[in-house]
Chains A and B, each alone.
Chain A
Amino acid sequence: MHPLRPRSPAHLFWAFSWLSLQGFGGVHAVVQRELVERHQWLSREEFLEDWAVAQILPGPNAVNLSLMVGDRYFGWRGAMAALAGMLAFPLGIVLCLAVLFAGISDMPQVQGMLRGMGAVAAGLVTASGLKLIPALKRNALGTPVCTGLLAATFIAAGWLRLPLFWILLLPGGCSCLWAYRCLGPSAHQGPAAGADQP
């Protein structure tokens, strides 16, 4: 389906290592950039679908996503390679930091650097959300419903700070039921065909 795909489990390992090493303040700010824009292994739509699955299953989202992507190309070997890439180098770095950090954690410059990188990470996460919005154009729910659901989720999670469980259950559950209705009984149409319906 895609012209671009990882060449080997080793390729997956290095790609996920590089992705993970850029993930200051969490990896979710860079996964979209690396997998969709740079490597182009996933389209925006596929990324959204996979990220939804990674979110709803227990465990770290980034770890879940690496398993899923790795498994799709090379089975369990790919899944292990991607997972190892996601964890190995950052684990080594964080341990070294823990040993070194004990002495310098109170320095105001160090605290300031952490604050500055945190602010940048917030911007990166926001941008990755903004870049995914065009993927909703082909969504069978239609633009008004999508916009409403997006806003409702943002308010529930960002302002009301409801636990994730309730967000996945209420906006998420309603949205899936509505999508089930919209998609109709024709189970063998692709998502693109669904978007053509009024």
Chain B
Amino acid sequence: MMSAWSPWDWFSLLGHFLSLSLLAVGGAMTTAPDMHRYLVGERHWLTDGEFSASITLAQAAPGPNVLFVALMGWNVGIHAAGGIAAGTTAWMGGFLGMCLAMLGCLLPSTTLTFVAARWGHSNRELRAVRAFKTGMAPVVIGLIGATGWLLATSDAHSPTAWHRWLLSAGVAVLVWKSRVHLLWLLAAGALLGAIGWV
């Protein structure tokens, strides 16, 4: 699809993620539509399948969901180096793509968070800062609840949907009322999924 990349191409990759970083209020996933527009539509650096596989995989694997950005950078880099058949060159391309994507995605937002959170902490007695924290507390709990609801009710039309709701509700009550280890529950979920119950 594309042969050797010029430095300018790598720079555009970094620039795209830098430009989205400060727009990602609520997490990097909110900027995924724009990544799709640029990486898949405009530049043809990724296929549709690679784009959605990057998101699914990062959500299933442990760690923050922002790692889907790393996978996109990895895939773009491998293409840029001439595909996986290019051997070591492809791995180096993938690594460079991953680093640039993560750097661009995280550098502006983490810098802002670092400065803003320090300011907020050293001014925590200010009425406005206390009002922000007091006022946001119920909203944050509502948002966490809504996230759980959205995760549980996605793909509601499949025949085993009510099995999954049962599993989600059971896990919620169990974790709420007991101290069972989370990894056991995840393992149980994986097992129930592998045998086809959910």
Contacts and interface: CB of A to CB of B under 8 A. Distances in A.
B144 A87 contact: no
B168 A133 contact: no
A149 to B, nearest CB: 4
Nearest to B171: A123
Contacts of B85: none
Most buried by B among A37, A127, A177, A178: A127
A25 B60 CA distance: 5
B6 interface: no
A15 interface: no
A120 interface: yes
A57 B147 CA distance: 18
A112 B196 contact: yes
Nearest to B124: A49
Contacts of B152: 119, 122-123, 126
A61 B26 CA distance: 7
B60 A114 contact: yes
A122 to B, nearest CB: 4
B16 to A, nearest CB: 16
A23 B63 contact: yes
Interface string A165-184: 10110011001111110110
Contacts of B154: 118
B137 A127 contact: no
Q: Please classify the interface of chain A as helix (H, G, I), strand (E, B), loop, or mixed, using the class held by over half of its residues.
A: helix
A119 to B, nearest CB: 4
A67 interface: yes
A49 B193 contact: no
Interface in A68-96: 68, 71-72, 76, 79, 83, 86-87, 89-91, 93-95
Contacts of B134: 139-141, 176, 179, 182-183, 191, 194
A33 B130 CA distance: 25
Given A115-B164, A154-B146, A60 B185 contact: no
A57 B62 contact: no
A112 B141 contact: no
